[in-house]
Structure 1
Amino acid sequence: MAAMAAGPVLAAGRWDVTSTVTDIAVPGAPGFILRMMRGKSKAEHKRLPAAQGVEALLVPDPKAGCRVDSQRIADGRYAQTLSCPQKRGEPMQIVRAGSYDATGFVGQATVTGTTPKGGMRIVLNQRAARIGD
């Protein structure tokens, strides 16, 4: 399932993984709602123990119930695909890719899925950074 190579060790402490909506298309959603969502950010807070690699920041939030379908972390680059259940319908697919070092990661995630009115797509810029002890 996962292909990983030893990479830089991240500092223990509090980390934020911030996702910012850069593009969004949801059939049937009012245009003003979509415009309001563009540029909005949400941070996922994580606490890392000592001697963790970037893979610890890429683990999906357990509350979301997502499954890691594939993952490659090597040579300063990462790529990951996830399947995340919805209350109704087929799971959403998330494809993430970017670069990392000992200070965190930067990359992009594309979320695709199906709504009752058709296919949806959300593109997020993502950044992980240490915010404290």
Structure 2
Amino acid sequence: MRKYLGLILLVTPAAAPAQSIAPGRWDIVSTAVDLVIPGAPGFLLKMMKGRSKTEHKCVTPVSAETGVAALLVPDPKAQCRVDHVQIAGGRYAQTLTCPQKKGGPMQITRAGTYTANGFTGRLKMAGQAPKGPLAITIDQSASHVAGACRK
């Protein structure tokens, strides 16, 4: 718990008070917009384009006080490093560096708008695949779905 709270505090701007969000269950829907993955079959890339994946997050009451920053915290399993984050005035921008199993790290940028009801934005990933440079663009939106988290 302390580890997660520490990470949240790292990405929360100190200059402005956070606009808190509702605690509980949140869904973050990521939809593939554009995929450039060298070596991947074209039909597979066409199938993936437009597909969505939903990530479920449980935001504690303490984390909810940090606002949208609680939703932008990367999954600890990904072992991403937050390089920069700016959250103010209804807009957010974030850059991350995430390791890959093979090859150099993946560079990720996120930007968009937020309110107390969630966020909408675009995520861009760039890195090196075994057969060349890859680039993935994803649209994301977050919304509150329930007042209590499942146990």
> 1:48 maps to what in 2?
59
Root-mean-square deviation over aligned CA pairs: 1.2
Structure with the higher strand share, 1 or 2: 1
Cα drift, residue 36 of structure 1: 0.6
SS of equivalent to 1:27: coil
**Distance in 2 between residues matched to 1:20 and 1:80, nearest whole Å:** 18
Identity %: 54
- Residue type matched to 1:105 in 2? F
Give CA deviations for 1:42-100 in whole Å, capped at 9, x if unaligned. Answer: 11111112224100000001111111010000110000000110011110010000000
Partner of residue 64, structure 1: 78
Give the 3-state SS of the residue equivalent to 1:53 in structure 2.
coil
**TM-score (normalised: structure 1):** 0.95
Residue matched to 2:30: 19
TM-superposed CA distance for 1:127, in Å, is 0.3
The Cα shift of 1:3 comes to 6.5
Distance 1:82 1:128 in 2: 19
Structure in which a larger fraction of residues adopt helix: 2
1:77 and 2:91 correspond: yes
Is residue 45 of structure 2 the alignment partner of residue 34 of structure 1? Answer: yes
Distance in 2 between residues matched to 1:69 and 1:43, nearest whole Å:
24
Q: Count how many residue pairs are aligned between Structure 1 and Structure 2.
A: 133
Unpaired segments of 5 or more residues in structure 1? Answer: none
Q: Which residue of 2 aligns with 1:117?
A: 131
Return 5+ residue gaps in structure 2 as ranges.
Answer: 1-9
- CA gap 1:2/1:12 in 2 versus in 1, 3 angstroms: closer
Instruction: Give the TM-score of the pair, scaled to structure 2.
Output: 0.84
CA deviations on 1:17-42 (whole Å, 9 max, x unpaired) are 11100011111110000001101111
User: Aligned partners of 1:64 and 1:7: how far apart in 2?
Assistant: 26
Cα distance in 1 between the residues matched to 2:46 and 2:84: 32
Q: Look up the SS of the partner of 1:35 in the other structure.
A: helix
